[in-house]
Amino acid sequence: MQRFLDPVVLAEISRLDLIARTVVDGFVAGLHRSPDFGFSQEFAEYRAYSPGDDLRHVDWNVFARTERAYLKRYRGETNSLLTVLLDASNSMNYASGKVSKMDYARFTAACLFYLAIHNQRDAAGLIVFDDEVRNYIRPSTRQGQINRLLHGLELAEPHARTDFAKPLDHFQQFLRRRGLVLILSDFYESPEKILRTIEPLRFHGNEVVLFHVLDPKEIRPDLSGPAILFDLETDHHMEVTPEYVTEEYPSRIQAHITALRDGARSARMDYYLLVTDRPLDAALREYLTIRQGRN
Amino acid sequence: MGFLSPWFLVGAAAAALPVYLHLLRRHTTTPHPFSSLMFFEQRTQSSIRHRRLRYLLLLAFRLAVLLLLALAFANPYIKRPVAHSSDSRMLLVIDTSFSMRAGSRVSDAKREAISVLDSRNPAERAQIAALGSELHVLTEPIQDSALLAAAVQTIEPGDSRGSFAELARALRSIEETTPGPIELHLFSDMQKTDMPASFAEMALPPSVSLVLHSVARDTQPNWAVESVRAPSQVWDPKRAHVEVVIAGYHTPAATRTVSLVVNGKIIDSRKVDVPAAGRATLQFQSLNVPYGWSRCEVRIDSADSLAADDDYMFAVERSDPQPVLFVHQATDSRSPLFFGGALASAAEASFTLDSVSVDHLAAVTLSKYAFVVLSDVISLPPQFENDLLRYVRGGGSILIAAGTSAAHRARIPVLDDNIIEAHDYSREGERFVTVGETDPSHPVMQSSEGWAGVKFYYAVAVDPSSSRIVARLTDQTPLLLDKKIGEGHSVLLASGLDDLTNDFAVQPVFVPFVKQVARYLSGTEDQNGSRLVDSFLELRTTKDEAVSVEVIDPQGRRPLSLKEAASAQSFELTSAGFYTVRLANGKEDVVGVNADRRESDLEPIPEDVLALWTGKGSPDSRQQANLGAHQDQERPRGFWWYAMFLVLVAALGESLLAARYLVTQADKP
C-alpha cells in the first residue's frame, strides 16, 4: 500500500483525480487497522429530534420501536469547510528528483480534496496565490466540486515570487466562515512575517495548518565543489562553496524550520513539514487528526 | 645563447591555444537553479580564488610543455669555455708516405721536428705521430723532450700513399675524445696527390691551429715504372708478353733503359724514348721463367731523386697446362666439343680438357684438376658425388650445366639446390627467351657484351636462396648462379652447354665466358701477380678456423700471430716487395706489391691552397682563423635534452592536475 503513496510513483500518473483516488482509497483501506482514527461515515451518536431538524436523518427503526424520534449522527456528517491555500511561486518549481515541490503540493491538495469531499462530505475550496491571488474556487459540496478543484490545481503553474502580505486581504475576504485552512508553501520568508500575515486567519475561528513543503536537497544540499547558483524567484546569481553548504546552510534552514514551527504553535496553528521524497500519507493523517479533533 | 634550428620557435605560437581555452572559455560554468538563496551567503572568494590559482597552475604547465617543446626542437646552445690554456698541446706529424723517400725528405722532416721540439716551452706537452695512409700516433702527450726526440728518430719512410683527409679525420677524432686546443705541426713534402678530391675533407677542427713545415721546396722531375701488365700464370713462355708503361712526371724528354729482371737476373733490356712529362709503352715479347713461382721486376735507369719507384715487382707462376675434368653423358658428344674448343681458344688460359663420361668416373682422381665441369648429367655415382663435394669444400670449384636431364631429378647434384620447374620455351609463344639482366661486377661477366643475342630454348628454374644470381633470363628465371661451398665455388648454368637447349655455344660470347669461368674457377683470377701497398689480400673465403694461413712479408718475417693465422680473413699489404702467402685452400701464392704510383708525382700543393688550409690565405680565412681562436675559448654546448626533461616533468604535472580538474568538473550540486 505504501507504494501508492510514494510521490515518485504518483508522478508517473498524469491525472490528478486518479492520483487522489489511488492515494486516498489506499490510505483509507489502511486505516481500518488503526483504532486511533474514526471513519467519517461510521455511526457517532443519537440525538433527540428537535424541531427544524432534517427529517431525512431520523432513524425510523428506532422510532418504530420506541416511538421517539432520534436523529442518527455520523462523524462525517459533522460538515466542515476545507480551504487549501496553495503557494504557486517560482520557488515551488524546484526539484532535485522527479517530483517538484509544486507537484508534491498538487498531489497533497488533490488527495485532501478527494478525502474531504468524497469521504467526509466536507465543503472544499482552493486559493492559488503567489504575490497575489491567482485563482479562487469557493468551498462547496456541490456536484462536480472535486473536478473543479482538481482542474484548479492543474491550472496552478508557478509564476512569480511568494508574498503573503499582498493577498492577505483577499484571504480575509474569502474565509469568512469558520473551517479548516491548509496552507501549502515552502515559506521562503521570515517566520515572523509569515506568521504575522497568517495569524489573522485564526480570528474567524479557523483551524490553520501550515504544510511546509521542502525538497530534501533544500534541507541538506549536496555540493562537492564550488558552483554558481541562481534564485528561481529573484534570478539572483551567487557563487557558493561546498564548505558553506555543508557546514552553515543546514543549521540556518533548520533554524528557519524550528522558528516557523514554534511560531505556529505559539499562534495556535499546526505546522507540518512535508519533504518531497516522503509518502503522502503524512498530510492526510494530519488532516484527519485535525478533522477528528473538530468533531 | 643561440639556436641551431630557430625556425622551430614558431611552434611556440601553439601556446595561444591553452591561453584561449583557459582565459577566454573559463567562465562558461553553467549556473545551477535553486529555490531560494535567502540562506546562502557570498562567502566564496577564497575557494574560487584557490580554484582559479589551480587553473592558472594547470595553464602554466600546459604553456610550459608547448614552449619547452618548441625550445627543445630549436636546439638551443650556450657557449662555454671548453679548455684552459694549460690543456693546449703540440702535435708533431711527420709524413711517411712513399714520396718522402725522395732525396733526404724524411731526415729533413725529422731534423726540423726536433728543432721545433727544442724551441717549445718545456712545460708544454707534445705528441708525435706519423702520417701514411692513416695517422699512427707514436707517443702520448708528454713533456719529456728526450722521449719525444727518440720517437721522432724511429720514424722511417713507408710505402703507403699519404692522405691529408685522413689526417683531418684523425684530428677530428682526437679533438672529440680529448678536447682542447691543439697546435699541429705537419712536416711533409705537401704532395699535391695527397689531397682529397674535396678540400672540405681536409678541414681541421676549429681548435686545431696548423703550422706547415714543407721539406720540398719545388717540383722535382721523376721517372717511374707506372704499370706492368703480365700474366700471373705462364705455361708457354713464348706466348707470354709483358707490357710496361714508363711515366715521366715533370721530366724532360729522355731515353730510358728498361730491364726485365727474373729472380734477380736481367733477361731482357730495351731502350725507350719517354716524351717530356709523358708516358711511353713497350712490350717484352716473351717471359722466360722457370717452373714454379718467379719474382719478376721491371727496372728503369732513372737517376732521379725517387729511386724507389724505378722498380715494379710482379710474380709469375709457370706450370704445365692444368687439366679440367669434363663429365658428360655417354651420349653427349657435343658439349665437350664446344667447351673444349672454347677453352683451347683462350690464348692465355693454360688448361687442357679431360673429357670423361659418367660411366668411366671410377678411376678419376679429382685433386689434380683445376676445376670440374658437370655437363647435363642425369646421375652421378654416389661415391664420386661424395668425392666431388669434398673436393669443392676443400677449395676446388665446379661448373654445372643443367640441361634437359635436370627434368629427371629434383635436385642439382653437389649444390643440393631444389629444381622448381623446367621451362621448355620452344613450346611457348616466343620459342625462346634471352638474357634479361646480368651482374657485371661478377668476374665471370667481365666481358658481358653479346649476351643479349643468345637464345635459350630450355632452362631450369632453381631455388636461388643461398646463391648469388649473376644473370637472369627475360622471364626472371635465374640463368647463372654462383654459390660458395666451403672454400670452393660452384657456378650453375641453368641450361646446357650443347647447342640443343640454347645457341650459346655457337655465339661469340661463349669463348670469353668459358675463359672467364675457367680463370674464376681455377683461382687464377684471384692470383694477381702485382698489387698496391695498402690493399688487402683475401686469405680465406669462410670463417672456418680449421686451416691456418701463412704470410711472409718482403723482409722475411711472419707478420701474423698464430691466432691471426688461424682466423684472419684478410691481410693488409703495408710495404712494397714480394709477399709469399699460403692460403687456407692450400694454394701458395706470391704477390709483388708496389707503391701507389700517384706518389711518384712530386708536385707540391700550391702556396695559396696551403695558405687557405692554414687559415692565412684570405681575409675570410683570417676571420675564420680568428673565429677558430675565439672558439678555442668558447664552444657551443647544446642543452636541448634539458628542455626535453623539463617537458617530461611539465607533462607529468599537467596530467596529475588535469585529472583532479576532471574530477571536480564531474561534481554537481
- Give the range of the structural domain holding residue B428, as residue numbers without chain letter: 322-522
In a domain, B355, yes or no: yes
Do B234 and B313 sit in the same domain of this protein?
Answer: yes
Cβ contacts of residue A203 below 8 Å, gap of 6+?
A: none
Q: Each residue of A176-215: pLDDT tens digit? A: 667 888 889 988 888 888 888 888 877 777 788 888 999 9
Do B480 and B337 sit in the same domain of this protein?
Answer: yes
Of B296, B318, B340, which residue constitutes the final position of a domain? B318
In a domain, B35, yes or no: no
Do A11 and A53 sit in the same domain of this protein?
Answer: no
- Secondary structure E strands in B192-310: 208-214, 222-229, 233-234, 242-249, 254-262, 265-274, 279-284, 292-300
DSSP string, A32-90: TT-SSS--TTSEEEEEE--TTS-GGGB-HHHHHHHS--EEEEEGGGS--EEEEEEE--G
In a domain, A206, yes or no: yes
Contact B235, B350 (CB under 8 A): yes
Do A101 and A170 sit in the same domain of this protein?
Answer: yes
Judged on CB neighbours under 10 Å (0-12, 13-18, 19+), B623 is exposed
In a domain, B106, yes or no: yes
Do B500 and B354 sit in the same domain of this protein?
Answer: yes
Q: Each residue of A118-165: pLDDT tens digit? A: 776 778 888 888 877 888 888 887 778 888 988 888 888 887 776 777
Max CA separation in chain B (angstroms): 129
Of A56, A76, A96, which residue constitutes the final position of a domain? A76
Chain A residue closest to B45 (CA)? A239
Rounded distance, CA B455 to CA A275, Å?
Answer: 105
Do B283 and B356 sit in the same domain of this protein?
Answer: no
Of B318, B333, B358, which residue constitutes the final position of a domain? B318
Residue % of chain B over a pLDDT of 90: 16
First to last CA, chain B: 53
Do A192 and A56 sit in the same domain of this protein?
Answer: no
Rounded distance, CA B520 to CA B136, Å?
Answer: 37
For residue A215, give how far its alpha carbon lies from the nearest alpha carbon of chain B (Å).
9
Do A57 and A163 sit in the same domain of this protein?
Answer: no
Domain CATH for A29? 3.40.50.410
Do B279 and B141 sit in the same domain of this protein?
Answer: no
C-alpha cell at B430: 616466343
Q: Is A7's pLDDT higher than 70?
A: no
Q: Is B329's pLDDT higher than 80?
A: yes
Strands B478-485 and B468-473, bridge-based pairing: antiparallel
- What is the residue-averaged pLDDT of chain B? 83
Q: What is the CA radius of gyration of chain A?
A: 21
In a domain, A38, yes or no: no
Contact B171, B182 (CB under 8 A): yes
Q: Report the pLDDT value the prediction gives residue B626, as an integer from 0 to 100.
A: 46
Q: Report the pLDDT value the prediction gives residue B102, as an integer from 0 to 100.
A: 87
Do A197 and A52 sit in the same domain of this protein?
Answer: no
Do B347 and B496 sit in the same domain of this protein?
Answer: yes
Q: Report the pLDDT value the prediction gives residue A133, as an integer from 0 to 100.
A: 82
Q: Does the CB of A281 have a partner CB in chain B at under 8 Å?
A: no
Instruction: Tell me the H-state helices in B74-144.
Output: 105-119
Do A191 and A47 sit in the same domain of this protein?
Answer: no
C-alpha cell at B477: 628465371
Phi, psi of A49 (to 5 degrees): -70, 135
Residue to mutate among B26, B40, B49, B663, with most A CBs inside 10 A, is B40
Overall average pLDDT of the A226-247 stretch: 82
Contact B604, B214 (CB under 8 A): yes
Which ipTM did the prediction report?
0.76
Do B301 and B346 sit in the same domain of this protein?
Answer: no
Number of domains observed in the structure of chain A: 2
pLDDT-based confidence at residue B238 (cuts at 50, 70, 90): confident
Do B353 and B334 sit in the same domain of this protein?
Answer: yes
B35–A218 CB contact, under 8 Å: yes
In a domain, B224, yes or no: no
Residue to mutate among B39, B662, B665, with most A CBs inside 10 A, is B39
Q: Give the distance from CA B497 to its chain's centroid.
A: 37
Q: Report the pLDDT value the prediction gives residue B17, as an integer from 0 to 100.
A: 85
Q: Does the CB of A227 have a partner CB in chain B at under 8 Å?
A: yes
In a domain, B571, yes or no: yes
Do B57 and B150 sit in the same domain of this protein?
Answer: no
In a domain, B389, yes or no: yes
Q: Is B373's pLDDT higher than 90?
A: yes
Do A49 and A139 sit in the same domain of this protein?
Answer: no
Rounded distance, CA B232 to CA B226, Å?
Answer: 18
Greatest mean pLDDT among A121-125, B128-132, B366-370: B128-132
Number of domains observed in the structure of chain B: 5
Number of Cβ atoms within 10 Å of the Cβ of B223: 23
Q: What is the CA radius of gyration of chain B?
A: 37
Instruction: Tell me the H-state helices in B38-132.
Output: 45-73, 105-119
Per the DSSP assignment, residues forming a β-bridge with B485 are B488
In a domain, B150, yes or no: yes
Strands B242-249 and B279-284, bridge-based pairing: antiparallel
C-alpha cell at B529: 701477380
Q: Report the pLDDT value the prediction gives residue A77, as an integer from 0 to 100.
A: 47
Do A177 and A215 sit in the same domain of this protein?
Answer: yes
Contact B189, B259 (CB under 8 A): no
A243 CB-side CA count, 13 A? 7
> Which residues of chain B are within 8 Å of residue A229 when distances are taken between CB atoms?
31-34, 37, 40, 669
Do A126 and A203 sit in the same domain of this protein?
Answer: yes
B36–A231 CB contact, under 8 Å: yes
- Give the range of the structural domain holding residue A127, as residue numbers without chain letter: 2-33+79-294
Do B134 and B203 sit in the same domain of this protein?
Answer: yes
pLDDT-based confidence at residue B627 (cuts at 50, 70, 90): very low
Q: Does the CB of A130 have a partner CB in chain B at under 8 Å?
A: no
Do B123 and B244 sit in the same domain of this protein?
Answer: no
Domain CATH for B240? 2.60.40.10
Give the least confident one: A40-44, A261-265, B85-89, B282-286: A40-44
